Amino acid sequence: MSFVLMLAIAPAITVYGGPSPSETREFGDWMVGCDNTGSCTAIALERDAEVYEALKVALVWDSHPVADPRVEIEPPDEAGWMLSIDGRTINVGSETFSGKSGSRLAQLMAEGRHLTMKSAQGEDLKQASLAGLSAALLYIEDRQGRIGSRSAIIRPGNAKATGPRAVHATLNQPRQSWQAPASIKFEQLYKRDGCDGYIVRSEKPTVERLDSKTTLVLVPWRCQNGAYNFSYNVMIADNSGHLRPAKLDFPGGMSGEEGSNDLTNASWESERRRLIAHQLGRGTGDCGARNEYIWDGKTFRLALREVMPNCRGSMRFIPVWRADVVER
């Protein structure tokens, strides 16, 4: 009997078959999306004509059937600030609301029109519109199987939450090698690149050791780039310095083509051993997509994807795919 009960409340698990990032949805002044594990994030967007400086607010709701949402506020520099909803003071000086306080604040926000940050003297500092938050929460409740359950905020009931249909991915990463990178003849990287006669970028290729057999060579395009989106070819070299295009299991370049080895605004983060690509929707950086890849010995695999499709002031992006990474 206990085994059957566990199946009834456990989230449905789907077998991992490669990265499949989900889509985001926009409701009023809120953007919402969920990742493959069922964790969801809603972010407040700036309105077209702001009266106050926009208050940065995010709501994160983990997928566990009895989890409460977590509300995160970007604090000001000054101390003693407080929050109010439609003129009613609800809190003084807290940046994160979790557990039951997170659920209570989310409910108050869903019922309100504006969340305002005030100074210690009562002066309005920043404000976020709450239009669309109720619909965004309902979307999360539906995705996470909470509708009609005790853990729901918008449509609660007495049923048990069923949980989301989750896809849990685990990627294997070779152990770090402390060998020097392979010796690369850089002149071969730019033969026949079509940049003769153009003003070319002077940025040098990035060369990093991936494992005992392989070196990453991140080659910037010397010409034909955009104003704020710059392209790179991802190459790998064996220990003899022979180069070949790297394989990526998810596109991260401006073309968006499957099988392409180009990435946009690419960089290597050595501490976490991640290959980063960041496509900007505009120069301010408040929209676009950000990918993180790990090297599994043969292919660069997508470990994290975050997106913000609407350019409305949010520097925080929504996770729509994530994988656990283990070193082997």
- Hey, what amino acid is at 309? P
259 and 143 in a common domain: no
The answer to whether residues 106 and 175 belong to one domain is: no
Shared domain for 60 and 148, answered yes or no, is yes
Locate 138 and state its tokens. Answer: 């309902």
The mean pLDDT values, 10 residues at a time, for the chain of 328 residues are 32 67 97 97 84 86 96 89 93 86 96 94 93 98 97 96 92 94 83 71 89 95 86 95 95 86 96 97 94 98 97 95 95
For residue 7, the model assigns a pLDDT of 31
Which CATH number fits the domain that encloses residue 155?
A: 2.60.40
Crossing angle of helices 133-143/99-111, nearest 10°?
Answer: 130
CA dist 318 and 286 (Å) reads 12
Could you give phi then psi for residue 301, rounded to 5 degrees? -105, 140
Residues 186 and 280 reside in one and the same domain: yes
**Can you spell out the DSSP letters for 231-242?**
EEEEEEE-TT--
Choose among 143, 51, 169, 154: nearest CA to 106.
154
Residues 305 and 327: beta-carbon distance below 8 Å: no
How many structural domains does the chain have? 2
Do 95 and 180 share a structural domain?
A: no
Q: Closest Cα to residue 169, out of 287, 292, 16?
A: 16
Same domain, 85 and 207: no
